[in-house]
Amino acid sequence: MSATAETLDRLIKQDYKPGFVTELETDTLPPGLNEDVIRAISKKKNEPEFMLEWRLSAYRHWLTMMEPHWAFVEYAPVDYQAISYYSAPKTTDHPKSLDEVDPKLLETYNKLGIPLYEQEKLAGVAVDAVFDSVSVATTFKDKLAQAGVIFCSMSEAIEKHPDLVRQYLGSVVPAGDNFFAALNSAVFSDGSFVYIPKGVRCPMELSTYFRINAAKTGQFERTLIVADEGSYVSYLEGCTAPMRDENQLHAAVVELVALEGAQIKYSTVQNWYPGDEEGRGGIYNFVTKRGDCRGARSKISWTQVETGSAITWKYPSCILRGDDSVGEFYSVAVTNHRQQADTGTKMIHIGKNTKSTIISKGISAGRAQNSYRGLVKILKSAENARNYTQCDSLLIGDRCGAHTFPYIEVKQPSAQVEHEATTSKISEDQLFFCQQRGLSAEDAVSMIVNGFCKQVFKELPMEFAVEAQALLGISLEGSVG
Amino acid sequence: MNTLLRIENLHARVDGKAILKGIDLTVKPGEVHAIMGPNGSGKSTLSNVLAGRSGYEVTEGTVTYRGQNLLDQPPEQRAREGVFLAFQYPVEIPGVSNIYLLKAAYNAIRRHRGLNEVDALDFLKLVKEKTRMVDLDEQFLYRGVNEGFSGGEKKRNEILQMAILEPTLCILDETDSGLDIDALKVVANGVNALRSPERAFILVTHYQRLLDYIKPDHVHVLAHGRIVRSGDASLAHELERKGYGWIEAAAAGA
Ligand SMILES: Nc1ncnc2c1ncn2[C@@H]1O[C@H](COP(=O)(O)OP(=O)(O)OP(=O)(O)O)[C@@H](O)[C@H]1O
Ligand SMILES: [Mg+2]
């Protein structure tokens, strides 16, 4: 093996740091799924009747559906009866403040670099921490309440704001939308809810941190963000899980609603456990994320940095319904070892003068497979719609793969659609050049990867950009100039 | 005077094929050596072996640089110790801005020397000054490394890197090839500005015209993996008139 190949090898063999398990007493339902399980979940959460009905109808619909297999990923069949659909740390029934949260949980978040206490005191970021199935702490509630912003767990929202939930839940991703969304609708246990009132610019970044801890459980959270007319919110989502030999299922649904003139910026740094070098264990990340630009001049931006999960199946999408609305998708997807990612976006142009931008950066190393799958659909009504898509793939080593599946459907002749795609490889020549200028091969790879991702990183809020770069094992580029 | 670089009986192979077959060369601080020779004679191979590129197997001989064995140092270590290679074919690194690479390299070398990293503003000042010297527009600093640069711009960029990193041993592999007359002067000025009693140059070139601007102390002819003739600046003029045939014939007969 040449020197550079060895360095690359070392680089892609970095340990998964958040891979520890927290020992906690939990309240866990036995594995299996049937109507009684769904009733039990709904009862544990003291839900109103309409929610139980909603869940049951989603479940009945799910029973008629087939698991989709069109993505460019391969995995052993999931046994849906072997999964537990509810697991909660016992001591956190209804924490009123951080003082009532189990210290072990706070310790877990500290280890992950999300000290909830400090977040509450210092950083201007409000955090909702979701541990296995339940939300354990939401910080900064008072300050947000002053601005009229609602930021709480989904359970609390169902309890305290049932009308808002009823009005918007499932209005972007209907209960029967797809196999995993239907499953989520039936069994989701918690998640975050955000409502920004008319004309309010949310005074801080909102952040949810998802942690899967318990074994043999699935995590099915549900996030709903509603930005009322003329409002603005930036929302961050982070995820980690312990290292385990078996695969764990994560099937979340995220719905965004932007009314007239509203803007939602949704950023994700996803670092679920990716499995080991041989592909044992790791999270199956089958997620439905969709934003609805319901009002004129509204805007939704998705920015994601996907480094984890054994399998990623995820297409954050925008429905550009309002005239002059804007959808954006910025993505870095990194796969190594045996990881498989099939990710991309859908931009559905319905309103006039709607605009969408897609920037996708896929990086493959080891024996990983990385696919971009994107749909740009321009309906007859979308006069003067415009889309720009750029899809770049970077290969590290020669046993990995990159694939691009762009689908374009245009029904409106005045539309302009542009698509650019490139595939490149970190070459020995590039590495030697950098080394000849005094950089180690590791720093050279980091620098090249970082340069490749720059367009996306600059869309992330500052503190997240730092985390994202740390995740890729790289240091900040562009500090000069 | 001390010796900066001493190459003794250097043999090297590429893909099992012997390319360098016993090179001897001594370079003292302050000197300029020109290496000329026909295509395929091993000039780039010698440059790459000195810089530590992988894929070259040294089968015999030694290289001593500042009293240390150069050959057992990894390439970045050699670079930090002051060995600089201006590439015959500079690579492109899309997405990594020129100035970012320059700063990373500059600081890597400073760290190696136990100096503080330079801050962004001071560095910018230094870079702007050197950029003017090589007659490159400042916008090149913010473009991807060599990304879409013309051939001549790439070569000037190599000289810019050399001017900023201030190496001790500068190896220029055909930096003059493919340059128009103005760019040639820029390269020559870059080298002449850096000439100092501590610093030495090895200029690999095919053309006398570079040597009109940079006067070499020694000229060597490399053929079939050996230095077959050495002389002073007048040897280059002789080669210009007569080509390499007569030397190769003489070497074969010797
Ligand atoms: N990777 C390689 N595999 C096989 N042969 C190689 C390789 N690299 C160099 N060579 C051979 O080694 C010989 C010397 O090449 P080198 O590039 O050192 O010549 P040069 O003197 O720099 O020539 P030029 O003046 O054309 O630049 C050539 O015959 C070349 O084909
Ligand atoms: Mg050459």
- pLDDT by residue (tens digit) across A425-459? 888 899 999 999 999 887 888 888 888 888 888 88
> Confidence band (pLDDT; 50, 70, 90) for A467?
low
Q: Whole-number mean pLDDT of chain B?
A: 92
- Six-digit token string for A99: 């003082």
CB-CB contact of A202 with A234 (8 Å): yes
Residue A104 to residue A137: CA distance in whole angstroms: 13
Q: Tokens for A330?
A: 């910025």
A112 in B contact zone (CB under 8 Å): no
CA distance A366 to A266: 30
By the 8 A CB rule, do B170 and B187 touch? no
Amino acid residing at B1: M
| Residue B162: pLDDT over 90 | yes
What whole-number distance in Å separates Cα of residue A466 and Cα of residue A457?
9
DSSP A99: G
Contact yes or no for B83/B165 (Cβ under 8 A): no
A2, A429, A452 ranked by CB distance to B91: nearest? A429
Ligand 1 pocket member B2 (CB < 6 A): no
Residue from A434, A445, A450, A469 to probe the interface with B (highest B Cβ count within 10 Å)? A434
Question: Distance (Å) from the C-alpha of residue A304 to the closest C-alpha of chain B?
Answer: 19
Could you report the per-residue pLDDT of B75-119, keeping only the tens digit for each? 999 999 999 999 999 999 988 999 999 999 999 999 999 999 888
On the question of pLDDT at A214 being above 60, the answer is no
Distances (CA, A) of B110 to B69, B86, B163, B191: 22, 20, 15, 22
Residue of B nearest to A435 (CA): B76
* Chain A residues touching B166 at Cβ < 8 A: none
Residue B17 Cβ inside 6 Å of ligand 1? The answer reads yes
Residues A297 and B174: their CA atoms lie apart, in Å, by: 57
Average pLDDT, integer, range A318-337: 93
Which residues in chain A have Cβ-Cβ distances shorter than 8 Å to B76?
Answer: 435-436, 438-441
Domain at B198, CATH number: 3.40.50.300
Is it the case that residue A114 has pLDDT exceeding 70? no
Question: In terms of residue numbers, what domain contains B93?
Answer: 5-253
Nearest chain A Cα distance for residue B226, angstroms: 25
Which ligand 1 atom sits nearest the alpha carbon of residue B45?
A: 18
CB B48 within 8 A of CB B19: no
A300 bridge partner residues? A264, A327
Looking at per-residue confidence, does A102 or B69 come out higher?
A: B69
Tokens 């440059």: give the residue. B47
pLDDT above 60 (res B10): yes
pLDDT at B241 over 50: yes
Q: Does the pLDDT at position A219 exceed 90?
A: no
Between CA B109 and CA B115 the distance in angstroms is 9
What's the pLDDT band for A166 if we cut at 50, 70, 90?
very high
**CA dihedral sign, ordered A162, A168, A174, A180:** negative
Residues 432-451 of A with CB under 8 A from B: 432-441, 443, 447-448, 450-451
For the ranges A230-239, A285-294, A319-328, the maximum mean pLDDT occurs at: A319-328
A316 pLDDT exceeds 80? yes
Q: What angle do CA A423, A424, A430 make, to 5 degrees?
A: 170
CB atoms under 10 Å from CB of A39, counted, come to: 13
> Which residue's CA is the nearest one to ligand 1's atom 17?
B44
Residue A5 contacts B where some CB pair is shorter than 8 Å: no
Q: What is the ipTM of this complex?
A: 0.95
**Domains in chain B: how many in total?**
1
Tell me which chain A residues have a C-beta less than 8 angstroms from the C-beta of B74. 3, 435
Is B188 within 8 Å of B157 (Cβ atoms)?
Answer: no
* Residue linked to tokens 């600046």: B233
Nearest CA to ligand 1 atom 2: B14
Q: Which of B17, B48, B171, B221 to mutate to test the pocket of ligand 1 (most atoms within 8 A of CB)?
A: B17
Q: Is residue A6 within 8 angstroms of chain B, CB to CB? A: no
Instruction: Give the C-alpha separation, A74 to A363, whole Å.
Output: 19
B45 lines ligand 1 (CB under 6 A): yes
Domain boundaries of chain A, sorted by first residue: 2-476
**Lookup: tokens for A237:** 């989502």
Over residues A256-279, the mean pLDDT reads 84
Beta carbons within 8 Å of A46's beta carbon, 6+ residues apart = A159
Report the gap between the CA of A174 and the closest CA in chain B (Å): 40
Digit-coded pLDDT (tens) for A330-354: 998 888 777 787 889 999 999 999 9
Residue A454 sits at the chain B interface (C-beta within 8 Å)? yes
Closest approach of B246 to chain A, Cα-based (Å): 36
Specify the pTM: 0.79
What value, to the nearest 5°, has the Cα angle with vertex B208 and ends B205 and B209?
100
